[in-house]
Chain A
Amino acid sequence: MSLLTIEGVTGGYGGADILHGVDLRVGPGEIVVIIGPNGAGKSTLMKAAFGLVTIREGAVLFERRDITRLRPDQIVREGVSYVPQERNVFPSMTVHENLEMGAFIRDDDIRPQLDKIYDLFPRLGERRDQVAGSMSGGERQMLAMGRALMLEPKLLLLDEPTAGLSPLFMDQTFERIQSINRTGIGILMVEQNAKQALAICDRGYVLTMGRNRVEDTGASLLANKDVAEMFLGG
């Protein structure tokens, strides 16, 4: 059974269509990566899974439930969390408050989950009373992921999690993504840094001009000559 199924989705942001009949699947506990050139509709495809795109045709299913027409605040309740690429923290609020806001819709005791996140990102634990706006890009990315994990989602959507990070933080971020995944959370991410992303993923999709181009396991895509030429810098 699939966690997330996107079937023949056509749509965009109200104007011209950006996606043209795209298919995508994420199985439980899988890491799936979307790669492709700029303007291929990678982020749009991911946003389509979170109610942020006007879908004209096709369907989005989460655990067999049709979520095509649901709003983001409804999809969050189904067990999907989304980390935007930019502006993904509440800058004037502390680390702790950011995480609390991630858990806004929970009514139970969130302390065990907070402890888990501080375990996963010790840096956040050290800085729990620091204001998010004063943290470095790498720390903010951790906080953004931590915020999204507060709801203990089954699927985590990451939009270019390493964009703008230094190589050191990039490696750390990929490691964190793997540790999150090891707790059983499925991950769908869009990534510019295709080589590293394909190396840690189970499967990858290559998108061009809003259409599926290639779909394969991460290892096979890395070995694929065409893909290498196009996106991996030879």
Chain B
Amino acid sequence: MLMDFLQVGLYGVVLGSILTLGAIGVSLIYGILRFAHFAHGDLMALGAYFALSLVVGLGFPVWASAPFAIVAAALAAIAIDQIVYRRLRRVEPVILLISSFGIAIALRSIIQLVWGPHNQVYVKGIQMPWRVGDLIVKPDHVWIVLGAVVLVIALHLFLTRTKTGKAMRAMSDNMDLALVSGIPAERVIMATWAVGGGLAAVAGIFLAMDTRLHPVMGWSVLLPVFAAAILGGIGRPYGAIAGGMVIGMAMELSTMIIDPTYKPAVAFGLMVLMLIVRPQGLFKGNA
């Protein structure tokens, strides 16, 4: 029973790592642009498929394809923002939200057109798991968790040590004051999309490593990603880290009691509960 718990807990940490990377982007974008970015799941999928192109086309290992996918997804995010969202910044946030819905559908269709509608994987065949005591650990799981830890630390350093990172926090804190201080809003917004898009690509690659590539992979994980962002207090990237872990754990641990099919329902339930009981998120804040 304890072993089962640890084994499922491990899956929870893996899923939590993936959700965290997606939720940080959602939270950053919400903090600065004040809209819920519904295309974030499909941006994750796009990143995963960018990596697939190098894996299949050039025979690269996944880890070597990741940097390319990160850059490509960051550029895609910036392009989407410049072409679509930028024009809508002065209107109601709800219009941005709906337009991101449209972008989500468009991205999914592009993925289907370019890479096909069927399931795909980076590496064919069975991966030999390691045994740690009675615990079964897949090498991919280790990479996913380590990768997420490294990226979260890098993000922390970026937000607290660099001028652009601090400007992002400033804009999310008080947009009007940032503008009268002369902070170049459009440049910081671009950097935000680059960071959000890059992290989304990694989240997508990790999700594909853990499961498989499929055009709706991002869409189906969007709900838990939002649940994580809301749990952490949307607009607060640090909260998203905790939110991602809690949602990931809750989803996996729930499979010990109820049918795994209901995993997304667990995330949804937690999100609704959170919005009713503590809409400001787990942590106190001023936003």
Contacts and interface: CB of A to CB of B under 8 A. Distances in A.
A73 B182 contact: yes
A197 to B, nearest CB: 22
A73 B286 CA distance: 26
B169 interface: yes
How many interface residues does chain A have, given as a range? 20 to 34
Contacts of B163: 100, 104
Given A84-B177, A133-B286, A90 B182 contact: no
A72 B10 CA distance: 51
How many interface residues does chain B have, given as a range? 10 to 19
Question: Does more than half of chain B's interface fall in helix, strand or loop, or is it mixed?
Answer: helix
A77 B183 CA distance: 11
Contact of A104 (B167, B173, B285, B286): B167
Contacts of A102: 181
A87 B169 contact: no
B169 A90 contact: yes
A13 B152 CA distance: 43
A151 B166 contact: no
A205 interface: no
A90 B174 contact: yes
Interface of A: 50, 52, 72-73, 76-77, 82, 84, 87-93, 97, 100-102, 104-105, 133, 147, 151
21 contacts: A72-B179, A73-B182, A73-B184, A73-B185, A76-B182, A84-B177, A84-B180, A87-B174, A89-B174, A90-B173, A90-B177, A90-B178, A93-B170, A93-B173, A97-B166, A101-B170, A101-B178, A102-B181, A104-B167, A104-B182, A105-B181
Given A90-B169, A92-B286, A93-B170, 20 more contacts: A73-B182, A73-B184, A76-B182, A84-B176, A88-B177, A90-B177, A92-B285, A93-B173, A97-B169, A101-B166, A101-B167, A101-B170, A101-B181, A102-B181, A104-B163, A104-B170, A104-B181, A105-B181, A105-B183, A151-B182
